Amino acid sequence: MTVSSEDRAGPDRAKAGANLVEAIERQASAYRRLLRLGRSKQEALVDWDVADLRRVVIEEQIVLAQALECEREYGAACAGVARNLAAGAETSIGDIVALLPAELRERAVQARADLSSLAEQLLLLTRANAELIQRGRQFVETSIAQIGRIAGNPTYDGSGSVAPVSQNMSATALSRRL
């Protein structure tokens, strides 16, 4: 008995579809870890816990590299499914998922929904963390300016004149003086 190319395409399509679903699930898992780390980062920022912040940032860099690898795998899996389904270049991921077998389609739809939700949460958390960092920096700049005025250590502009009081001491100026 010979196996036709049509018969071989079935298992190949199923394998390509399974690879796609697994890639989406791995990507969602990486985003879930990034979200957990983002929350830990937020706690460290609020508590001004530099040691914990350093630990979180290092771990976050590792997980971010893994998430980028998952995105690469996802792109390759999409291309593999598109090839097996003879989909055109303009085929969307939604179109590709719709062509998967029912059991894979359900997993893919759920994984894509999870990934989308996680990405949205991560975006909001990252923006909140960025605002915490910005406000912390403003606090430090204001503190340095106030301490500089009280200490009587003015900074000078390029012409040799004393800089205005509101700009008397910045973190950059302080670091240059130290």
Closest CA to 60 of 73, 68, 47, 132: 68
Dihedral through CA 67, CA 68, CA 74, CA 80, nearest 10? -150
- Domain-embedded: residue 31: yes
- Domain-embedded: residue 77: yes
- Domain-embedded: residue 172: no
- Domain-embedded: residue 153: no
**With 0-12 CB in 10 A as exposed, 13-18 as middle and 19+ as buried, what is 30?**
buried
The mean pLDDT value of the chain amounts to: 82
- Domain-embedded: residue 118: yes
Place of tokens 């816990």: 49
Q: Strand, coil or helix: what is 99?
A: coil
Dihedral through CA 135, CA 141, CA 144, CA 147, nearest 10? -70
The pLDDT of residue 159 is 66
- Domain-embedded: residue 158: no
Reported as a single tens digit per residue, the pLDDT across 103-143 is 899 999 999 999 999 999 999 999 999 999 999 888 888 88
Domains: count for the chain: 1
For the chain, percent of residues with pLDDT exceeding 90: 49
- Domain-embedded: residue 99: yes
- The domain in which residue 48 lies consists of 5-131
Contact 56, 33 (CB under 8 A): no
Q: Strand, coil or helix: what is 90?
A: coil
Residue 55 CA, distance from chain mean position = 17
Reported as a single tens digit per residue, the pLDDT across 152-177 is 766 555 565 655 555 445 555 545 54
- Domain-embedded: residue 107: yes
User: What phi and psi values does residue 156 have, to the nearest 5 degrees?
Assistant: -115, 145
Q: Strand, coil or helix: what is 168?
A: coil
